[in-house]
Amino acid sequence: MAKDENNMKKKLGFTYSPNDLAIDLPEPNRDQAIFRVRKLFPEFVWDTTALEGNPFTFPEVKTLLEGVTVGGHRVEDEVQVLNQAKSWKRLIDMVKDGNFSLDREVFCKLNGIVAREEALEWGTFRKGGVGIAGTNFKPPAYQELDSLFERGATFINGISNTAEKGMVFYLFGALNQFFYDGNKRTSRLMMNGVLLTDGYDVISVPARQRLEYNEKMIRFYDTLDGTEMMSFLLDCSTLRSPAPTSTVIQG
């Protein structure tokens, strides 16, 4: 492993190949990016909860967000949808008010909304061990989390490309499992906070791609290589450079 990769793995817990990612950042516009989040708000909430296996359909999520109770579901599933909506709203407010930053305080605040009433504790780093289903990867011991976050956040905040920075933080949070629950959801919010702050559209994994998302996340945990997962996230965004078109030469 090259020296840079060794340093990356020490700081993040994983490596990735920036040169293998086709990132084509458009002209930034924060107001337009926030407008589009608000316009597609129910869809983003549904995408996020569907990735968690929540049984609410898109029409049911939209109805619930309009203030109408939807019958036939567990209270826990309804709470998860409402918490996700609240966390998205809090993120948007943070960005608009200039209060979003890629740090522990914001990370914990968002988790405190995402995982409320769902986890053993929420809004604070875990104080015990956790596991990730489907992989042999073992998240770090809770005693290591404080120093790990400090090292990782410093490394990530030094990344100049906005999309790369956001996606790396997402994988950093998902891998190291800083909280008892809601790690991926909270880390995706942090990723999107980075994008919105710099005026770019958010990345939302469509509910219909849940299987592909899960398969790639398991490979990420198994290999500790984030390149494939970051490429997948770019494919779910407006930040992917288009593939070059071939030129047909008439004979």
Q: What is the pLDDT along the chain (251 residues), one digit of tens a residue?
A: 555 788 899 999 999 999 899 888 899 999 999 999 999 999 999 999 999 999 999 999 999 999 999 999 999 999 999 999 999 999 999 999 999 999 999 999 999 999 998 888 999 999 999 999 999 999 999 999 999 999 999 999 999 999 999 999 999 999 999 999 999 999 999 999 999 999 999 999 999 999 999 999 999 999 999 999 999 999 999 886 443 333 333 33
Q: Helix or strand or coil: residue 125? A: coil
Domains of the chain: 3-12+31-235 (1.10.3290.10)
- Closest C-alpha among 167, 132, 133 to residue 20: 167
Which residue type occupies 60? E
Note the residue count of the chain.
251
Q: Name, in order, each residue with C-beta under 8 angstroms of 158's C-beta and a sequence gap of 6 or more.
A: none
Residue 190 CA to chain centroid, in angstroms?
Answer: 6
Is the CB of residue 190 less than 8 Å from the CB of residue 180? Answer: no
pTM over 0.75: yes
- Closest C-alpha among 60, 53, 21, 24 to residue 184: 53
DSSP state of 84: H
CA separation for the pair 139, 188 (Å, rounded)? 18
CA separation for the pair 152, 130 (Å, rounded)? 20
